[in-house]
Amino acid sequence: MSSVEDLRRRVHDLQSVLASASLMPIVDEERRDLRRRLQDVQQKLESVEDQFLLMGLVGGTGVGKSTLMNALAQKPIASVSHRRPHTDRVLVYRHADCLLPRSLKLIDELVHEIVHQADAARQVIMADLPDFDSLVQEHRQRVVAFMEHMDLVLWVTTPEKYADGRFYEMLREAPKSRQNFAFVLNKADLLFSGSSRSIDSEDFHKVVHSMGRLLEENGVDDPVLYVISAQEVLDGAPLSVWNQFPFLRRWVFQKRDAKEIRAIKEANLDVEFQAVFLRIREGMEQLERAVRFLNLLEADLLHQDRLGQTVSWGRTVLGEVSVLESLTHSLQKVSDLQGPAALFGWMVRLISRVSDASQSMTTLSRHVATALHERFQKQMTSFKDHSVALAYQEGLVDPLRTELLERLHGSWPQISLAEAVREAIEIAVVQAQRRTKGFMQWRQRLWSSWITALLLLALGGQDAWRAALAHPGAAQIVALVAAMVEKLFSGQGLAALGTWTFLQFLVGARFYREYKKSLQRHSETIIDSLQSALEQVLREALEAHAAVVRRCREDLEEEMAVMARLGGDEASAEMPVTPGAFADR
């Protein structure tokens, strides 16, 4: 049996599960009903320290419930004048010193109070429930619900009515712990003819054993059955040998300390808690199916075939958007080419009308990012369809299936790889541009200067250069320059100038070609690096989707762990009763 503190904690935990945005397979309307029932249990827990018992008397018309209550109280507290205002009202008999419990005040529309001064019944509040055989179905359900507030229940019948099917039908509907039931066969004196009070009466044994068998057939194992005549007690005559009223009264009115009363209340509340818990536990199989579904989904997302397919898409996209050409162009810098190579490059750009590098880089980044994102989203759309089919295949049913898929499909679109792709491209290009900085600039200058030096030697002539070098001075330099100018406009000088121009063009073309090949090699290196970076981006995107699945699975496993912790053992307790078996008499 659970302690009050433990049961209070379990109620609180179960309320948290129902109140949270959990994936429990319970529709909203039923969830609200279960929360309400838990609130009722919580309210009853607050009164477990009360030093009295609530005892209900259930029976049909004319079974002598009022007579039995008077006999238990040892004075008349119930009479025929205590009529019910309505057929579904419960007559509650309490001592003047005993306040009506809070749980009964909350259902005041069902209760009609009667206050008495019988000290013998000070510890017990007796509730005379309406005769079940005179109730309409709607009122009957209200009376059954009222029984939830009872700590002990006496089921009263007579030899004439003990086989009434309505009696056992109501017994099956009773919500309380059956260890707190006692069955009373009242008016047993009807089984004896004349003045005979012998226990050997054949009818007596037949009825007692027949009633015991009916109780067992209706789910009451080892029923506690008392055979009495309450009227015989009120008449004051010596009790017959078969009259078990003293044992019944001892069972009801024996002095219980607070621990015993509390144990009885806890047993009943534990049963009510278990009723709610077992309803929720019915969804545990669906939660287990959901965990298995999420495990399969996560494994499928991270399967090597899917990873390989996704990575191959990255390579395909890089080829589709002409990354090599765009990247080669984006790496070009005007400062990389010097002299004739720069002029040659300018002429190539002018003829081909290629845009500047920054615009090409922006276009490259946008195209690659957009293409990869679109391809990935197509893959995930296909995977969503796969997840729906897998959910049906694993036997998930609504509302769990719908809530789970909505949670997954709602989180996946928030995972975007466009920004990560753009960042990877920009990093790769910046690193490549650092490697190409200052590319062969000194070689270009050296070759251009050497060709120009040959032109100057040819224009100055052998004699002018010898004079300038033999006698350096301003006059000799002026004479050398004059000789160059004079020869430049001669046929020989124009031929030398043409040769210089042709050589510069060849050198520029050679360096430009070498520069382009170098850029292409750098671009290929960048593409390899970019492919690795994009593969990592795509893998991380798949892992991010798998992480959403993993979080859902962990949430489900946490709920299952909470349910396992809340289950506990079914309420059980031993009642301090005297067996009603005549063999023990």
For residue 55, pLDDT over 60 is answered with yes
| Mean pLDDT of the chain, nearest integer | 77
Query: Rounded mean pLDDT of 287-297?
Result: 89
On the question of pLDDT at 234 being above 90, the answer is yes
Residue-wise pLDDT tens digits, 367-388: 777 777 777 777 778 888 888 9
Looking at the domain covering 52-255, what would its CATH class be?
alpha beta
465 band by pLDDT with thresholds 50, 70 and 90: confident
Instruction: Name the CA dihedral angle for 533, 539, 540, 546, rounded to a multiple of 10 degrees.
Output: 180
Q: Decide: helix, strand or coil at residue 68.
A: helix
274 neighbors 280 (Cβ within 8 angstroms): no
8 A C-beta contact, residue 191 and residue 208: no
Q: How would you class 238 by CB atoms within 10 Å of its CB: exposed for 0-12, middle for 13-18, buried for 19 or more?
A: exposed
pLDDT tier, 428 (very low <50, low <70, confident <90, very high otherwise): low
Ordered by start, the domain boundaries in the chain are 1-47+257-283, 52-255, 303-565
For the chain, helix (H) and strand (E) counts, in that order, are 21, 7
**What proportions of the chain, in percent to the nearest 5, are helix, strand and coil?**
70, 5, 25
Say what the pLDDT of residue 580 is: 40
Q: Name the band, by pLDDT with cuts 50, 70 and 90, for residue 247.
A: very high
pLDDT band at 585 (very low <50, low <70, confident <90, very high): very low
* Residue, of 34 and 431, whose pLDDT is higher: 34
Give me 424's structure tokens. 């990877």
Q: Are 368 and 317 in contact (CB under 8 A)?
A: yes
Reported as a pLDDT band with limits 50, 70 and 90, residue 11 is: confident
| Contact yes or no for 435/333 (Cβ under 8 A) | no
Q: What is the largest CA-CA distance in the chain?
A: 171
**How many CB atoms are located within 10 Å of the residue 300 CB?**
16
Q: State the first-to-last Cα distance of the chain, in angstroms, to the nearest integer.
A: 31
pTM for this model (two decimals):
0.45
Q: Is 274 helix (H, G, I), strand (E, B) or coil?
A: helix
* Alpha-carbon gap, residue 221 to 215, rounded angstroms: 8
Residue at 392: amino acid letter: Y
User: Checking phi first, is residue 236 left (phi over 0); if not, alpha (psi -120 to 50) or beta?
Assistant: left
| pLDDT category of residue 415 using cuts at 50, 70 and 90 | low
Provide the pLDDT for residue 214. Answer: 94
